[in-house]
Amino acid sequence: MRIAIVPGDGVGVEVTAEAVKAIRAASEVFSLRFEYESLPWSASHYLRTGVTVPPDGYVLLSEFDAVLMGAFGDPRVPDHRHARDILLGTRFELDLFVNQRPVRLMDARLCPLKDRSPSDVDFVVFRENTEGVYAGIGGRVHVGTEWEVGVQEDLNTYAGVSRIVAHAFEYARAHGLGRVCMADKSNAMPEAHGVWQRVFRETAPRFPGIDARHLYIDALALALVQDPSQFDVIVTNNLFGDIITDLGAALQGGLGVAASANLHPGRTSMFEPVHGSAPQLAGKNVANPIGAILSAALMLDALGHTKAATALEHAVSESVRAGQGTPDIGGSLGTRETGDWIAGAITNARPEI
Ligand code: IPM
Ligand code: MN
């Protein structure tokens, strides 16, 4: 299988190296064969060449079996043009309509809420990934004057909403999860989010064993902090999913440990940590590689290598519980040393053959 690696900017470079290290360790144990190709798309590449993504770039990506990305963002590109083309462009052009972001607390010590254990914080957010306010519909006039106007439309199509809501329910059913919560803001945005209401009303009855609940997004934010144990699967739009998964990252120990999969089932999909490029941490060997390694686990899982995926997850959990990690989660190891520890744990957990 061929994997494209797009490390990107800042700490993205460091954490993807550790993710590849973990995949290599698992490949040894489970006799998997991967070829890696690194693509240079990044702020530096853009500043040097004027190119964010080459003209055939998205087609090139779609010819790989999967894409592993690092992070994008650089103070030298203040309008984030390359980040939009590389990250959002890939989501849109490859039609990766599912943004799956698991929220799983690995050690009670990492939860900012009091008296919460790993069994209380274990849910998955499905964020719609191709529509909403990210669709890029809008514009600005009279820029720089007192009459400046900015408009950005919230795009919600019946087809687009249907496929993500159905995906969330199907995931719940396939994983034996009994509760799906859909969050929108249909009280204040009855037109745009009326589509979500209709889809939810039509979809839920097709999954009779599953408790289907609706919350407005503000109420969901409250509930996630008050009692995260009431959630198994959450499905919401692009923007709300973006926001609520940062909250989710906090519940499980911070941005450094949060992982994501950008999926179009059956097609080339893309995997990336939830965190950004953290320029202030770049090159210092301090960034937490766990978000990237868990994203690699999601990739292995999507490629059908379930055991290898589980091996990565177990090794990461082990490292967290043993305190063998980076300073953001209370450890004293560097990025590379954390990656080494995790790769070692994968190798040592060699299954009896
Ligand atoms: C994320 C990020 C991106 C998003 C940014 C970098 C455009 O915050 O993946 O969550 O908003 O989707
Ligand atoms: Mn985000």
> For the segment 169-200, what is each residue's pLDDT rounded down to a tens digit?
999 999 999 999 999 999 999 999 999 999 99
Q: Over the range 9-35, which residues count as b (16 or more CB within 10 Å of their CB) and which as e?
A: bbbbbbbbbbbbbbbebbbebbebebe
**Given pLDDT bands bounded at 50, 70 and 90, which one contains residue 150?**
very high
**Cα radius of gyration rounded to whole Å, the chain:** 20
Distance of CA 259 to the CA centre of its chain: 5
Which of 98, 242, 247 should be mutated for ligand 1, with most atoms under 8 A from CB? 242
Cβ(128)–Cβ(166) under 8 Å?
no
Instruction: Return the closest-CA partner of residue 3 out of 32, 28, 30, 31.
Output: 32
- pLDDT confidence of residue 269: 98
Average pLDDT, the chain: 97
Q: Which atom of ligand 1 is nearest to the CA of 276?
A: 6
- pLDDT confidence of residue 349: 85
**What is the spatial distance between Cα 93 and Cα 138, in angstroms, rounded to a whole number?**
19
- Taking only the tens place, the pLDDT of each residue in 44-74 is 999 999 999 999 999 999 999 999 999 999 9
**Given pLDDT bands bounded at 50, 70 and 90, which one contains residue 92?**
very high
- pLDDT confidence of residue 20: 98
User: Mean pLDDT throughout 125-134?
Assistant: 98
Token readout for 186 is 């249909």
- Taking only the tens place, the pLDDT of each residue in 321-340 is 999 999 999 999 999 999 99
- pLDDT confidence of residue 350: 63
- pLDDT confidence of residue 353: 46
Instruction: Return the closest-CA partner of residue 70 out of 21, 4, 20, 8.
Output: 8
Cβ(277)–Cβ(74) under 8 Å?
yes
Instruction: Return the closest-CA partner of residue 246 out of 101, 31, 110, 108.
Output: 101
Q: Is the CB of 122 under 6 A from ligand 1?
A: no
- pLDDT confidence of residue 352: 52
For ligand 1, atom 11, the nearest C-alpha belongs to 242
- Cα 87 to ligand 1 centre (Å): 8
C-alpha torsion sign, points 29, 31, 37, 42:
negative
**What is the spatial distance between Cα 15 and Cα 69, in angstroms, rounded to a whole number?**
10
- Cα 337 to ligand 1 centre (Å): 28
- Cα 240 to ligand 2 centre (Å): 10
**What is the spatial distance between Cα 301 and Cα 79, in angstroms, rounded to a whole number?**
35
Indicate which ligand has the atom closest to the C-alpha of 71: 1
Residues with Cβ within 8 Å of 122's Cβ and at least 6 positions away in sequence, in order, are 103, 104, 105
- pLDDT confidence of residue 274: 97
Q: Which atom of ligand 1 is nearest to the CA of 72?
A: 6
- Taking only the tens place, the pLDDT of each residue in 286-325 is 999 999 999 999 999 999 999 999 999 999 999 999 999 9
**What is the spatial distance between Cα 207 and Cα 230, in angstroms, rounded to a whole number?**
19
Helix (H) or strand (E) run with residue 273 in it: strand 269-273
Which of 87, 100, 247 should be mutated for ligand 1, with most atoms under 8 A from CB? 87
For ligand 1, atom 9, the nearest C-alpha belongs to 274
- By percentage, how much of the chain surpasses pLDDT 90? 99
- Classified as helix, coil or strand, 249 is helix
- pLDDT confidence of residue 351: 59
Q: Which atom of ligand 1 is nearest to the CA of 84?
A: 7
